[in-house]
Amino acid sequence: MTRPETAPTTTEEARAYLTECARHVNPVLHAFWDEKRRVWSGFPEIIRGAFDAYDHLTGDGKKIRAGLVRLGFEACRHPGSPRPLAPDSIDRAAGCVEILHNAFLIHDDIVDRSDVRRNAPTVHRVYADARRTRFADAEQALAYGQAVALNFGDKGQALAQELLLSSGFPPDVLLPAIALLSQVTAETVAGQLLDVEDVRLEELTEARVLRIHEYKTAHYTIMLPLQLGAILARVDRARLPSLRAYAIPTGIAFQLQDDVLGLYGDQAVLGKPVDSDVKEGKKTLLFVHAHEQARAADREFLHRVHGNPAIGVEDLERVRAIVRETGALARSEAMARELVAQGQARIPEVTSDPRWQRVLAGVGDYLIERRY
């Protein structure tokens, strides 16, 4: 006797949807980088190296942001919408947000002095190490690597616009789409500036951290792709605020889970050292809430290790213990669930289609249940 098949959960349905979207976007991105290498084939390697770097960074992966572009497009598209001009139009548009994402990561890794990303050397570290023998010391080599990577990051923001412009959508939707891409790029930089601002641990507040998470993460990770896809689908502009109301709390919840993984995750799965958030002095609610509730000795310890690149394994374990014992971990996880529920409550305003309602609901759950 065969057992009846159980229906997939909304989380599983969302994960499957995003996986299928990635399968379509990956070859489009690889072809784009091949095209760029051909166009620039007669130029020095350092110029072509940017395309190699992005080809690696945008290689096979989750492509959550790209999947959300297609989701925004399909959830907001109505039967009368004219079709785009090319079969891969939505995949090219979706790929542009992945390029922008990795441009931000290249800059982020310079700011955070990170040596590893996705279990491989960061872009600035690759160039610093490759030319180490050409410089008097490691510091000069690192400055060279950072200069190269800085320019690669700048280039990526232009390449993202180029891929979107080549997507084949008509000008009347491309213009507002490009305007949105530019607006959110500027908002993300504002969030990054708030993140690098010189603020001591005792000056950090929940409100300050949540604002950083909104502008640095939620705007470009969730809101941008969903609204970009919706605009390309010629959505009724009155629905865009509902998309934003879904996206912002969902995006903040995404970052809260990222912060949890950055402290408690599996290094082999995450692709970066699990002590990097502590060493870099990352502004997280885990530290804010732990600092508020910790005993005096533990509070002093948190001051000493937050932003200290010389911490060891025992220091990291003590940080983890303090965050758990003060309830900061449980508080952050509960807030993430509440934020996802807040976003899910707005889904009926975005679409009345049961399938897209399920996928949107599942995306929120998936983002706070993921382990990488």
pLDDT tens column, 231-252: 999 999 999 999 999 999 999 9
pLDDT tens column, 216-233: 999 999 999 999 999 999
Token pair, residue 79, equals 């039967």
**Residue % of the chain over a pLDDT of 70:** 96
pLDDT tens column, 94-122: 999 999 999 999 999 999 899 988 888 99
In a domain, 369, yes or no: no
| Residue 325 φ/ψ, nearest 5 degrees | -65, -30
Token pair, residue 153, equals 């990051």
In a domain, 367, yes or no: no
Q: How many domains does the chain have?
A: 1
269 pLDDT higher than 90 = no
CA-CA-CA-CA dihedral for 365, 367, 370, 372, to nearest 10: 180
Residues making up the chain, counted from first to last: 372
**Which ranges constitute the DSSP H helices of the chain?**
10-39, 45-57, 64-76, 89-111, 123-130, 138-165, 171-196, 206-213, 224-232, 240-264, 267-270, 276-280, 285-293, 296-305, 313-325, 328-344, 347-350, 354-369
pLDDT tens column, 300-325: 999 999 999 999 999 999 999 999 99
In a domain, 139, yes or no: yes
Q: Which of 20, 123, 107 is nearest to 115 (CA)?
A: 123
In a domain, 317, yes or no: yes
Indicate the pTM of the whole model.
0.94
> With bands split at pLDDT 50, 70 and 90, how would you rate the model's confidence at 1?
very low
Q: How many whole angstroms from its chain centre is CA 335?
A: 19
Tell me what pLDDT residue 2 has. 46
Asked if 188 contacts 223 with a C-beta cutoff of 8 angstroms, the reply is no
Mean pLDDT over residues 60-80, rounded?
89
In a domain, 4, yes or no: no
> With bands split at pLDDT 50, 70 and 90, how would you rate the model's confidence at 6?
low
Those residues whose C-beta lies under 8 Å from the C-beta of residue 359, and which sit 6 or more positions away, are 10, 13, 14, 17, 71, 75
Burial label, 293 (beta-carbon count in 10 A; 0-12, 13-18, 19+): middle
Tell me what pLDDT residue 80 has. 66
In a domain, 112, yes or no: yes
Burial label, 73 (beta-carbon count in 10 A; 0-12, 13-18, 19+): buried
In a domain, 149, yes or no: yes
In which domain, by residue range, is 162 found? 10-362
Tell me what pLDDT residue 85 has. 64
The mean pLDDT value of the chain amounts to 93
In a domain, 370, yes or no: no
Which domain CATH number covers 244?
1.10.600.10
Largest CA distance in the chain: 74
